[in-house]
Amino acid sequence: MSELVPSGPHGEVVGVHDDLLRFERMLLDQLAGAGLPTANVLVPVDEREQALRTIGMALSSLPVTERGRSAYISKMIAAASAGLFDAALNYLWNETVGELRRRVISYDLAYFYDVAVPSPDRRKHLSTEEDLTKVDDFDLLKGALQIGLLSATGYARLDHIRYMRNFASAAHPNQVELTGLDLANWLEVCVRQVILLPYDNITAETKRLLANVRAQPITGEDAAKAAAFFDNMPAERADLLATGLFGLYVDQSQAPLVADNVRRLWPLLWTFVSAQARGNFGIKIGRFTASLDTAKAAAGRELLALVGGTAYLPESERAVEIDAAIDALTAAHRGWSNFNTEPAPAKALSDLIGPRGDVPTALENKYLEAVVEAFLGNQYGVSWAAVEHYEAMLRRLDSRQAGMALRTFTLPTVSAQLWSTVGQSRWAALLDILAPKLTAPVDRALMQAIRAFTSTPDKLASDTKIKKLVAAARA
């Protein structure tokens, strides 16, 4: 069916004008009799005729099987026939929102919530289909666009309809003029851009992947296919998929199978996740902690730790974890079998510091003492499996921190390592790492004096000249 009413050979509506006019007169007479306004209540009959003709054309692409559930389209047409275009627009928007919600439900509801409602405080109240009514129209449109249920063109057009609905419909009465063509065009947007829009390849594959994560173990072959899929994803879609996997992992109601599958996929996807998205995961963990949602916070930290991403935790979170990691490294270094136990805490600390070497100011002295002490090893040697992490952390120091590290020979825990052959060799290696970083004249003068020192480095702290240079640098 492409026509709501019969038309003549030139497209004119046949046999409707008089009926619409009689209905209008009857209704306006009733309003006038009740002492109510009648001016500008109904749109002209000619506009209503145009609406009926063009709305029928807009409906022509909607399959009959889809029309049976489109109650709001029926109400829209009824309101348009009565001359209430503002009410018709409101019904059209209700139909659009309802169809979008149905598409979200049939796609992946939890994924949509994770993407469309990034705030943990709001997200925790959203889980069921009924909760979709708590998502405002703007977030519904934006979330549908982000996960691929709307095209960019469709989103722009629907957002315009949303604007007109807010300022020109019965929901917000005003004097904005609507035409029959407007209603027909907007209905066509709803039909083509919402009801009938197919999934693109990435959207379809994302739906399949998320369903598999919940349903069955991810095999090696599955993981290889997923890695190839990630490699071909646009950057923004990789960020959103990571958001969905993160949401699945921290959801305490999910089965252990889901967590296992996310852990398998997470390192493969992490390479393609932007720095901003990585930082957002850290912020979410911080908010979980602040709201005492300790289970979700712990799960989130597990995912970041899995890929060496703990540097993306918020400063407050990182400070606590860095402090604990320093203690763990120091305990391992000073304990039995330290060559075997150092690598794990060394890597954990390096991951927390991150590629930029971001150390909280309050922990700098403690951090430098621990790293330098572990880097120097002990009289029996060094933990070679941990050395790469120590070197990485030292190479991330800025000029000021390098100057502080240079002065660690004044600490008893460091000086005590400098009498042995191993300690002296490692001290020389440390100086080579620090020297290019030093820019302050006092630091460079101290470095020159240390290199010129003729006795063993364990005597540096007691040398008068060296002590003066250290004191001058601290002034």
Contact 463, 453 (CB under 8 A): yes
Residue type (1 letter), 165 = R
What are the backbone angles phi and psi of residue 353, rounded to the nearest 5°? Answer: -70, -35
pLDDT in tens, the chain (475 residues): 455 555 555 445 556 777 777 777 788 878 878 878 787 778 888 888 888 888 888 887 787 777 878 888 889 898 888 888 888 999 999 999 999 999 999 999 999 999 998 888 889 899 999 999 999 998 899 899 999 999 988 998 898 898 888 776 555 555 457 888 888 889 999 888 888 888 889 999 999 999 999 999 999 899 999 999 999 998 889 999 999 999 999 999 889 999 999 999 999 999 999 988 998 898 889 888 888 889 999 999 999 999 999 888 888 788 888 998 999 999 999 888 899 999 999 999 999 998 889 898 888 999 999 999 999 998 889 999 999 999 999 999 999 999 999 999 999 889 889 999 999 999 999 999 999 999 999 999 999 999 999 999 999 999 999 999 988 755 4
Nearest to 369 by CA among 414, 421, 415: 414
In this structure, the number of other CB atoms found within 10 A of the CB of residue 269 comes to: 20
Provide the β-strand partners of residue 13: 7
In this structure, the number of other CB atoms found within 10 A of the CB of residue 390 comes to: 27
Q: How far apart are CA 447 and CA 178, in angstroms?
A: 79
Nearest to 86 by CA among 40, 144, 137, 31: 40
Boundaries of CATH 1.25.40 in the chain?
A: 315-474
Q: What is the pLDDT of residue 376?
A: 95
Q: What is the pLDDT of residue 475?
A: 46
Tokens of 443: 């630091």
Query: What does DSSP assign to residue 312?
Result: G
Longest distance between any two alpha carbons in the chain, whole Å: 113
Q: What is the pLDDT of residue 174?
A: 54
What are the backbone angles phi and psi of residue 7, rounded to the nearest 5°? Answer: -130, 155
Nearest to 427 by CA among 398, 396, 460: 460
Tokens of 81: 């026939």
CA of 111: how far to CAs of 148, 197, 210, 242, 378, in Å? 12, 19, 8, 10, 51
Nearest to 419 by CA among 378, 466, 467, 374: 378
Q: What CATH number is given for 315-474 in this structure?
A: 1.25.40
Q: 473: burial class by Cβ within 10 Å (0-12, 13-18, 19+)? A: middle
Q: How far apart are CA 144 and CA 115, in angstroms?
A: 9
Tokens of 302: 């597990």
What are the backbone angles phi and psi of residue 268, rounded to the nearest 5°? Answer: -70, -35
CA of 460: how far to CAs of 62, 424, 467, in Å? 86, 12, 8
3-state secondary structure (DSSP) of residue 381: strand
Q: How far apart are CA 298 and CA 253, in angstroms?
A: 15
Residues 6+ apart with CB under 8 A from 104: 112, 132, 140, 143, 144, 149
**Cut 0.85: pTM above it:** no
